[in-house]
Chain A
């Protein structure tokens, strides 16, 4: 699976948009970009994933650049409870990867009042 690079930490004001970047310059054509988050002491929670097109769900939006070498997770109106570690993961959705996720260090997002 392709390696990802994320900033160690970011701050965001409550109610503002939080934009979390992720670089994955070695991504291959059949690899998806996944985002998970981990709120303190809890199990990771799936947020969103995408292949080429931008994606949006009730939690967030995912913007993938045209060359697919980077992406941005957007929390449109950050809340205090969105404070968490956010993981960007790139992986093959099929083949022999059998659903294995490789977690890096992630980005610590702190939402402040």
Chain B
């Protein structure tokens, strides 16, 4: 199993540009989530999904959209990038919704100029 994969590893955007951060898992996990981590801070939950076709907002959802058309994929869309969205983004997945053990991807480092 590849586990949780994220692409790209690095990205530089200009203010106002849009982009999609990709996340995929091959463990057939029902639950997937997106976090952001700012320098020196813990992770904050952006959006999560408890299964295909079901998504919900986390702690800091503004400026981001998600969709879950398949069990494997959970892309995160930045609609109009802002410098405040400069961060490291982590995707995670868990078997079931109980969140016993979350598996994290390697992260995407995003810089918005």
Our verdict on whether A and B bind, yes or no, reads: yes
Do A99 and B45 touch across chains, with their CB atoms under 8 A apart?
no
**B74 located at the interface, meaning its Cβ lies under 8 Å from any Cβ of chain A in the complex:** no
Q: How many A-B residue pairs have CB under 8 A?
A: 67
Min C-beta distance of B39 to chain A, whole Å: 12
Asked if A68 lies at the interface with its beta carbon under 8 angstroms from chain B, I say: no
Which of B90, B102, B105 is within 8 Å of A99, CB to CB?
Answer: B102
B61 at the interface (CB under 8 A from A): no
Q: Indicate the size class of the contact surface on chain B.
A: 20 to 34
Interface stretch of the complex, out of A16-24, A59-67, A75-83, A100-108:
A100-108
Interface centre among B33, B42, B50 (most CB of A within 10 A): B42
**Residue A13 at the B interface, CB < 8 A?**
no
What mask results when residues 36 to 48 of chain B are scored 1 for a CB within 8 Å of chain A, else 0? Answer: 0000011111001
Residue B64 lies at the interface, judged by CB distance under 8 Å to chain A: no
Contact A98 B107 (CB under 8 A): no
Query: Does chain A have a CB within 8 A of B86?
Result: no
Chain B contacts for A102, CB-based, 8 A: 45
Chain A contact residue count (CB 8 A cutoff)? 22
Q: How far is the CA of A99 from the CA of B29 in the complex (A)?
A: 12
Residues on the B chain within 8 Å of A113, using CB: none
The answer to the question of B97 belonging to the interface, with a C-beta cut-off of 8 Å to chain A, is: yes
B105 to chain A: closest CB distance in Å?
5
Can you list 29 residue pairs at the A/B interface with Cβ under 8 Å? A42-B106, A43-B4, A43-B106, A44-B102, A87-B42, A93-B98, A93-B100, A97-B99, A98-B31, A98-B50, A98-B97, A98-B99, A99-B31, A99-B48, A99-B96, A99-B98, A99-B99, A99-B100, A100-B33, A100-B45, A100-B48, A100-B58, A101-B45, A101-B92, A101-B102, A102-B45, A103-B35, A103-B44, A105-B42
